[in-house]
Amino acid sequence: MPESSPEPKLASAVEADGPSVGSTASAVGPAVNADPLARLATGWGVWLRDLIISLAISAFIIIFLYQPVKVEGTSMMPSLEDQERIFVNKFVYRLEPIGRGDIVVFRYPRDPSKSYIKRVIGMAGDRIRIDAGLVYVNGEPLDEPYVPAEYVDARTYPEITVPPDSYFVLGDHRSMSNDSRDFGAVNQSFIYGKAVFGYWPMEKMGRVK
């Protein structure tokens, strides 16, 4: 390996020879002259190795764990703003179930080439209805502190029961969101990640809620 350079041997020779500095320098002269090149080769080798390892780790994280995405649109304001950058955890739902209140990323059921981001409101078996903007889950009004009063609309949605392996999702900006009120519940097979952390703009850096 590149780490086995003449440099450690040179240091040992000097220490072993002690006061005979002149004779030691003469005996190992060629190694000293070649040392900068060896050190350069070693430096490049280590740098290249570290770069390859870093790229491999980054690729693994992006492909299997976290994916950086850009939010486009205003349907999740104020939680997520247009052009905000976030990390999506693509592995978390292998370890835990999707929960009510999670902000999930999924393939749009009517065009799987597109991805949407919404909040989970109802899970399989839940009875969901919306009365003049107020959401009811299993007959009880849902507390939604993430929806400011100015973002509530007056839409009414008749009661449905969320199908098996599916989720009812809504955008936080109710008057600007295309969601389960329009395309129905989303099958779990379409959901591929959970929004977990915002990293841009800097003032919004932190856990996505």
Q: Which residues are catalytic?
A: 75, 118
How far is the C-alpha of 88 from the C-alpha of 149, rounded, in Å?
A: 28
3-state secondary structure of 16: helix
Sequence-distant contacts of 69-74: CB under 8 A, at least 24 apart = 69/105, 69/115, 69/117, 71/117, 73/176, 74/173, 74/176
CA distance 86 to 52: 25
DSSP 124-140: TT-EEEEETTEEEETTE
Count Cβ atoms within 10 A of the Cβ of residue 105 and give its class: 0-12 exposed, 13-18 middle, 19 or more buried: buried
